Structure 1
Amino acid sequence: MTLLPFAWAGLPEAAPDGLAVVDSAGRFVRINRAGARLFGRTETALIGTLSPFLFTPEVAPEPVGLFDDGPSEQVTPWALDEGPQREFAYRVQQAPGDPRLAVVTFRDVTEERRRQRRIVAVARSAAKLASQGSLSATLDALAREVLQTDALAGVQILTVDESGQGLRIMGSAGFQHWPDFFDRLLECRERGASLLMLDALTDSEPKVVAHRWETIQTDPAWEPLREYLGELHWDSFASVPLIIRGRAAGVLNAFFAPGQIVSTRTLEFLTAMAEQAAVAIDYAALMHRERDVVRRQERQRLARDLHDSIVQQVFSISMQAKSMEVLAQRSTSLPADAVQRIADEVGLLSRTVLADLQAMVHELRPLSTTQVGGLEEAVRALVDSTTNRTGLRFRLFMGQGLDGIEGEMAEDVYRIVAEAIHNVVKHAEAGKVEIRIGVRDQRLRASISDDGRGLTSPREDIPGHSTGYGLQTMTERAERWGGTVTVKPRKRSGTIVQVSVPLTAGLPRAGASVEITGTWTPPADTKGQAS
């Protein structure tokens, strides 16, 4: 094989990456054509100027090749005279024969590192969906991710309000809060300003305009918002719709710094982040609807319980009072035994009504699970109240880790336990109840078992799958946190309710399983409904 003559002296100029020689002070001594092009200056203009590369004469020669990737590669930013900041990855090695000089090879990794940051931002935003406490906090965090990942000037996330007629800012980064922002925006629209984000909403597709700020500065229609938009140092603009089930439910507005280009990859990243925002909005709406359903079902159960117990008992009291009235009309002297009998019945009914009302009040307003003692003390108070009211005997076992259960999760677990105890009191005809609650293997586990009537063999019409308000409510509360509720008969007699909720997620989520084995056969006077 015959090799063509090659001028080794011209190798630096032929290198595809930047190649430079710097002195101990970090100043350029030599630089090749590719390197000068990366810095946006001529080779002559760079010689003698300070480079961004770190070098000390004491640096030992690197064990790997100069152009190999390795842990010793460093990254430094560089602000061009015009345009956005760039990032250079570089490696340094002492020049042979002169320890005062170093040879540096470098390359532009701006786009590469931006892609990496975008991947991390999408993953981190997905994680934030499971860790933020509210929709506004989630969207604020997502807006910051977009801002920091692509070094944008500002980001807004706006959603369509409940009426479907207006917009509201639910997340932002880079902007100050202006309470009258939408009033000013509407004024701009009335003056004839073109609102691209409304076009993005209407057309359900991204809108991108280069040098948007230049247009706004010279357009008198934008005067009411010019000061607000002038807080940022920006140039181009993009608005990406948030699509939920084929419908635009909001927009993500991105304000780009001068020199930044809205490329196809940039738009793909903004679309991916808009999808994350749409998931958060859709999930929050789903949780809101589910909470409404649970509240409606609890109101229905309360109404049914009032009718089945308190209303009937109060009616009985009124009938006893009517009997006293009839007796008084018949004779001036009432038989003592009749008066005593009616008084005893009225007293018993009154005590029963009072006990039932106290039970309902305790269920509706339990000891706050956010107070000292939290979930554990709330359950203990419920057990004490039930014992005093019904005479039911309890064995209570509280495990470790309950002090870490708080907020909505603690409230939901308490309600599940309260509903299980309510079912025992109303239907089980039990004498003893055993409750175990604790944390094990990153899951909160609870069981409520009784020695009552128990479950019969499985049938198709299982209460709780559709008609049992209480069982359905218990399963929905567990499902919010990815948990399960299992209802099944005990080996000898009675029923056991088992609850398992994972503690790895910070926000409630939909989609979990529930298994109900057997059929709860209530007493005849409950008309076939199990709570």
Structure 2
Amino acid sequence: MPEPVRQPPPPGDGASSLGRAALAQLVTKASDGLCIIDAQRHFVYANPAACHMLDRPLHELRGTDFLAGIPESERETAKVRYTAQLDGMADSYSGQIRTSDGTVREIVYSNFAMTIDEKPHGIAMFRDVTAPRGAARTAAVLAQTAAQLVGTATTHEILAGIARHAYEGTRAVHAGIAVMGADHRLAFGGFCGHNGSYFGTGCPGWASLAERPPQDMVAAMTAGTITTGSVPGKAIVLPDARAVWQGDPVMAEVAAVTGDGWQVAVCLPLAWANRVIGLLGVCLPAGVAGPSEAELAFCTALADQAAVAVINARLTAEAGRAAATLERTRLARDLHDSVSQALFSMTMHARAAELTLARIDAVGTEELTQSIADLADLARGSLAQMRALIFELRPESMGEEGLIGALHLKAAALAAGEQTPIRVTGPDQLPERDRATEEQLYRIASEALYNVIQHAGAACAFVDVTIDQRARRVTVTVTDDGVGFDPATAGGQGSGLVTMANCAEAIGADLEITSGCGSGTVVAVSMALADIAARSPGA
């Protein structure tokens, strides 16, 4: 008998059911988002990946306008594209979506139209590319900053550039960087906002911040959560930063110049040698709860680069100082081995000649005796001055002699050369020691003594170093009985007044100059012993 003819399975049976199940599983488990939207722009369906990217479950999305999840700046373009999509135009493009918490994600779309239940619908498939694009931007920014580090840009300019990257690469309304210098004063700064980039003294609020210790600024900016000199921690997010800054006298002017439109601040510590030396601050627009993970990672990388820029500047400065120190040491050694020894020999020969003339008691040698005596005095004065110069050239001298010993040497050199008596009084050592601070105090006293010799016409001068144990302050005073001058009209040019003022400012000391025509001059510089202790290397 012939074999019976087998009929194919009816449609809708077995295989097609398996295909629909596989398709549903594929859509559900896909890592890319898929949405179905009706002609009125309402969500009909969104797979789990799309719900995750939009940060809303399907039952909340269904029936809502998809434009609500598009940043306002892109909505008009999205409307035009969707109209063209329903007309049958398939398209692929990049755009952005905004989640319920305000986070913006970068998306790559593929769109086309489909008829469902005899009605046109838009199908959107999209992928979140925020992380890879953010990483690419970070890499580009870091490469640009690295190029600046080896270029000719100043540290201020580099920090302003980093602040600009923080402003442009996030939702920031403003971004700024402030760094404390080695002298515990505001040293570097960069800022960027809608009005452009600024650096150094041009930064908004710089003048008010520069008047205060940076540790006060950092504490005020972070509501006390970050302190300078502490071990750096994680970034701090202050949800009500604008209100906090407005109510703080340290930050009130900064809050005023940054204007409205922001509320949250993200503060990231800048560190060197595992100690906080500054901050990168990013102000986010009102309505944003905080930075996204991508924004926080981006700003953290920028803060690290800002710290590298500052460290590079400090190490470059230290290398320059080290080179200068080596050169000064070489000069001091050469002067000691040649000129100083020659002057000492001249002194001995002049003294020998004096003794010889006195022994032979020759008649008519008075002028020769006087000339030799003058030569002896000149040689002794030059030798004293040379020893003082060698002392100033040797970097370790201040550590060995201390401030009082250095002033004794300076006074002896000037007195021997100019025949002006200079008396130095004070304790053998200061209660608190810091070589850099003592060097600045020494420079101020030296400038004052030079003014006595060159301008005052004084009969004598006094240098007094006093310690006020009750007030815990040290004061160095230089007094002369010379012709005096009017400080209001001196202008500081050619008389060392500018140098003295700069030295005092460098260590945070108070400088006071009292003088008047015909009444002599008093130069007094004072500072707290606690400030000297804080500046010492072991602090």
Larger Rg: 2
Shorter-chain TM-score: what band?
0.3 to 0.5
TM superposition score normalised by structure 1: 0.44
TM superposition score normalised by structure 2: 0.44
Structure with the bigger percentage of helix: 2
